Amino acid sequence: EIYYATSTGPVNIATLKYWGKRDKDLNLPTNSSISVTLDQANLRTLTTASCSSKFDNDQLWINGATYPLDGARSKQVLADLRSLRKEVENENSSLPKIATFPLHIVSENNFPTAAGLASSAAGFAALISAVARLYKLPTDASELSKIARKGSGSACRSLFGGYVAWEMGDLANGEDSKAVQVADKKHWPDMKAAILVVSDMKKDVPSTSGMQLTVHTSDLFQHRIKEVVPKRFIEMKKAIIEKDFPTFAELTMKDSNSFHSVCLDSYPPIFYLNDTSKRIIKLINLLNESAGKIIAAYTFDAGPNAVIYYEEKNEKYVLGLLHQFFSHLGGWESSSFDPKNAVIP
């Protein structure tokens, strides 16, 4: 007999960045972070988890290609899920004993895996919710977020939808390092995100090793985690609850800048932004200046691609300018496109 269940995991993009681990085995962060969950219609991982005594070993398929599930992180995630299943089986003796059966995990992304779009977060979140469903585990998302965190830090924020905070916690065993929902999607239905794929190449420095380098070599990093982020964490949650877009947007842009500054302050330095990314930053600033208030925010993860947040009522204005910029890309250098002359609809 084969047992199976299906679930999805959304992509989340941090507006207050997780960068730095205090424990790299348990993925415990040096600061709390906040993210916005993107719409699953456009970006999601769809995963079916199945298990059977007939399977040979644990196995993963992503968009048709096979991967062994033998990495330390994946093994930890599966071990945690299995031990929860054993508890469920012990409490309810009528349930089949499937906790030790090999698992087959079949995943499909509806976006290019290589585009640097936090695919590991959606992937781990989908895997965990599919296995939780298969195992009939109690579905407390914050509890599951602790397992997701061990797979990939940012994955713990992909189990909720809406606006999510990952509370760093301070226990050595990580039991208080979990994600919680700040507000659901309906709370601020006007919020929109546009992804500008500047490059679909694999990232320069993977986030796991990049953050270790920053923790060990950047002096500025200490200032970021002690002074800057704790205050910003409180302010950003408040801005979300109050649907205060200008404050939310300013904090988001400043935190992206702060994260890329500690990357530059690492030794040797880490560069994630390229010239196109920097032009997007200038363009968004120009847009906000010309609007007389902040109506758009940029943020960049460990790569050159931009995510732009804006409110739906300003969509024409924001996307109109971005469209003009991109349709002139390449011409910028030769000054055929000057953002100051852009016709803003």
Interface with ligand DP6 by CB under 6 A: which residues?
14, 17-19, 27, 33, 120, 152-154, 207-208, 301-302
Q: Is the dihedral of CA 92, 95, 97, 102 positive or negative?
A: negative
Residue closer to ligand DP6 (CB basis): 100 or 209: 209
CB of 281 to ligand DP6, least distance (A): 16
Residue closer to ligand DP6 (CB basis): 27 or 314: 27
CB of 121 to ligand DP6, least distance (A): 6
Q: Which residue is nearest to ligand DP6 (CB)?
A: 153
CB of 17 to ligand DP6, least distance (A): 4
Closest CA to 179 of 44, 62, 334, 14: 14
CA distances from 78 to 64, 204, 240 (A): 21, 29, 34
CB of 29 to ligand DP6, least distance (A): 8
CB of 37 to ligand DP6, least distance (A): 12
Cβ(21)–Cβ(156) below 8 Å: no
> Which residues does 112 contact at the CB level (< 8 Å), separation at least 6?
200
Residue closer to ligand DP6 (CB basis): 80 or 301: 301
- H or E element: which one contains 236? helix 229-241
- H or E element: which one contains 15? strand 12-16
Residue closer to ligand DP6 (CB basis): 7 or 154: 154
> Which residues does 278 contact at the CB level (< 8 Å), separation at least 6?
none
Neighbours of 324 (CB within 10 A): 17
CB of 235 to ligand DP6, least distance (A): 17
Closest CA to 177 of 206, 207, 157: 157
Residue closer to ligand DP6 (CB basis): 48 or 76: 76
Neighbours of 313 (CB within 10 A): 11
3-state secondary structure 153-190: HHHHHHCCCCEEEEECCCCCCCCCCEEEEEECHHHCCC
Residue closer to ligand DP6 (CB basis): 215 or 287: 215
- In the block, which residue shows the tokens 């935190």? 255
CB of 246 to ligand DP6, least distance (A): 22
Tell how many helices (H) and how many strands (E) occur in the chain.
9, 14
CB of 184 to ligand DP6, least distance (A): 20
